């Protein structure tokens, strides 16, 4: 059960960071500031922050026209949710 708590805390943290990074990058784009790289944004989604990245895209209306983000982030979200459900329902967390 402790392992599940660690995983959930990690996922919450990485998703909050991903969401905030999308908002910060949108702000920087509007104010002609040094931007957060697309590699960093997508990397946060890849590391488990796909829900935060997807919400960041929707809330901040950011990176919605980029194919990599438009299709890649939802794909990662479905993959991560499927993996979490599979692991949660398996004996790994029992």
Range of the domain at 54: 2-89
**Could you count the other beta carbons within 10 Å of the beta carbon of residue 53?**
30
pLDDT given at position 16: 98
Model pTM above 0.85: yes
Report d(CA 73, CA 78) in Å as an integer: 9
**Residue ranges, the chain, pLDDT below 70:** 91-94
Copy the structure tokens of residue 11: 């996922």
Q: How many CB atoms lie within 10 A of CB 8?
A: 11
Convert the pLDDT of each residue in 67-92 to its tens digit. 999 999 999 999 999 998 888 888 66
The verdict on residue 55 lying in a domain is yes
- The domain total for the chain is 1
């Amino acid at each position: 059960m402790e392992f599940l708590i660690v995983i959930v805390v990690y996922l919450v943290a990485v998703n909050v960071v991903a969401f905030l990074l999308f908002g910060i990058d949108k702000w920087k784009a509007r104010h002609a500031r040094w931007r957060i790289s697309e590699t960093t944004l997508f990397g946060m989604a890849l590391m488990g922050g796909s829900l935060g990245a997807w919400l960041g895209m929707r809330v901040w209306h950011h990176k919605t026209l980029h194919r990599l983000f438009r299709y890649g982030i939802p794909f990662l979200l479905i993959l991560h949710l499927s993996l979490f459900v599979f692991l949660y329902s398996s004996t790994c967390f029992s």
